[in-house]
Amino acid sequence: MTPAPPRLAPGRPATAADREAARRMRQALSEELPRVREAATAWRNGLAGLFVGLLSFGLIKGRADVGTLAPPYGAVVGSMLLVSLVCGAVGALFLLRAAHGAPSATPTAGAGRPATAQAADHLETMRAVDAMRRGVALTMACGALLVAGVAVTWYGPGKDKPRILVRTPAGTECGTPRRAERGTLVLRTELGEVRVSLAEATAVIAVETCPGAPAAK
């Protein structure tokens, strides 16, 4: 036996409270897209000001060449800055999308129907909110990577300075050159400063590490 199809019955008449709630809902839906656009513009301007401050912070005197960092810190800083640039660019595009919408033409079909236009505005609002959230997250990640890269550039270990090996009839001395004064070369060694007379030197050789010293990692 085929079951009887469901029967639809009219609901109760709308009350004044129902009509007021519907009016408020329509008003909220009509205002949500401009409100989200305004919020996205404020986030964009605020984050732009933050990055101006970060760039000014990065100009404070510090190590200016990642090539002076000991490996692999130079490559790490370069990777951080590259990822930071990508995050910043994509985040900016998302924020622009949220603040100004996608570059597309408005379809004319159904343009005269308020319900259709309202539904389209609501969908666009949801897309703008999603774009704003992604843009904020990516922009904050960009700032964090930028600060981390600057910090590693400032405080990361530098490359070892070249060593000088000096051979004399009295023996061999090796260390980091400090200064030369009146024919005497001052070397900094593990035992302290050593003075070597260049007049007695039989050989002066630049070396990466001194004999017997552990190689730099």
Residue 121 DSSP symbol: H
| pLDDT (tens place) for every residue of the chain, 217 residues total | 577 777 777 777 777 776 777 777 777 667 788 888 898 888 888 888 877 777 766 555 556 666 777 778 888 888 988 998 899 889 989 998 898 887 765 555 555 555 677 778 888 889 999 999 999 999 999 888 888 888 888 888 877 777 888 888 888 888 888 888 788 888 888 778 888 888 888 888 888 778 765 544 4
If we measure between CA atoms, which residue out of 79, 52, 53, 83 comes closest to residue 66?
79
At 54 the three-state DSSP class reads helix
The b-or-e profile of 53-74 (16+ CB within 10 A means b, else e) is eeeeeeeeeebeebeebeeebb
CA distances from 89 to 46, 93, 147, 205 (A): 16, 6, 17, 49
User: Hey, what amino acid is at 136?
Assistant: V
Tokens, residue 157: 């270990």
Q: Which domains does the chain have, with CATH numbers?
A: 20-103+113-155 (no CATH), 163-207 (2.30.30)
The amino acid at 83: V
